[in-house]
Amino acid sequence: MSWVKKGAGPVVGIDFSPKAIEAARALSRELGIETEFVECDVYDAADRLQRTFDVVFSSYGVLCWLGDLRRWADNVARLVAPGGLFYLVEFHPFVWALADDATADHPAMGYAYLSHQVPKYFASGADYIDSSATTPPHYTWNHGLGPVITALLERGLVLEFLHEMPYCATAIVPMLKVRSDGYYEIPGTDAFPLSFSLLAGRPR
């Protein structure tokens, strides 16, 4: 909806959660912003939407839930129009490898950096959106930068840039502290990547 306010359109948002789609549609009506929201699994997005876009965008907290990067990348590539762009901003795989008790003085590893073949099972966990909530039992995958980029390149997209940042959008691990600009960082250091972004294009 913020893109529509800046002149983009038509704009389509997808999510597999019916509650998220319902909330998005309600907000769209409240603000009087014309936006289409579609409930579907990301693996089915290209077949469901049956169209292409000048810009395809994905943000924080998507890749860790996906066991099949190639299937994800196939949908991304099919949605990008010739001459179009795919932009991704995500939590860095380094973050998901940090130990639960990691601190700024001792950012120890507690999980595998690469677990894209064997997912990690969690009986429960903290919700990084609502700190008072816990998640139900779940599996997650930690995909390194190499597998993510390779999956996109294999589908014919061309990498324009890859950036690694020492900050991220939410406090996904307890040791992160908010900065004056609203992003979160490891206090006292910018030596570790917490998020990354990439831009990939489809040739005309």
pLDDT for residue 14: 95
Amino acid at 25: R
The mean pLDDT value for 20-31 works out to: 94
pLDDT (0 to 100) of residue 127 = 62
Calculate mean pLDDT across residues 1-24. 91
Mean residue pLDDT of the chain comes to 90
- Residue 105 is predicted with a pLDDT of 83
Q: Is the Cβ–Cβ distance between 77 and 162 less than 8 Å?
A: no
pLDDT band at residue 119, thresholds of 50, 70 and 90?
Answer: confident
Q: Tell me, what's the pLDDT at 157? A: 98
| Residue 186 and residue 176 in contact, taking contact as beta carbons nearer than 8 Å | yes
Are the C-beta atoms of residues 177 and 164 closer than 8 Å to each other? Answer: no
C-beta separation of 33 from 2 below 8 A: no
pLDDT at 125 over 80: no
The model's confidence at residue 129, banded by pLDDT at 50, 70 and 90, is low
Helix (H) or strand (E) holding 138: strand 138-140
- Domain residue extents for the chain: 40-201
Q: Which tokens hold the place of 197?
A: 């972004």
Residue 165 or 101, more confident: 165
For every residue of 45-87, DSSP letters joined together read: HHHHH---EEEEEE-SSSGGG-S-HHHHHHHHHHHEEEEEEEE
Q: Looking at residue 78, what is its pLDDT?
A: 98
For residues 169 and 183, what is the distance between their CA atoms, to the nearest angstrom? 5
Contact 184, 194 (CB under 8 A): yes
CATH of domain 40-201: 3.40.50
- Give 19's pLDDT tier (boundaries 50, 70, 90): very high
199 pLDDT more than 60: yes
Q: Is the pLDDT reported for residue 58 higher than 80?
A: yes
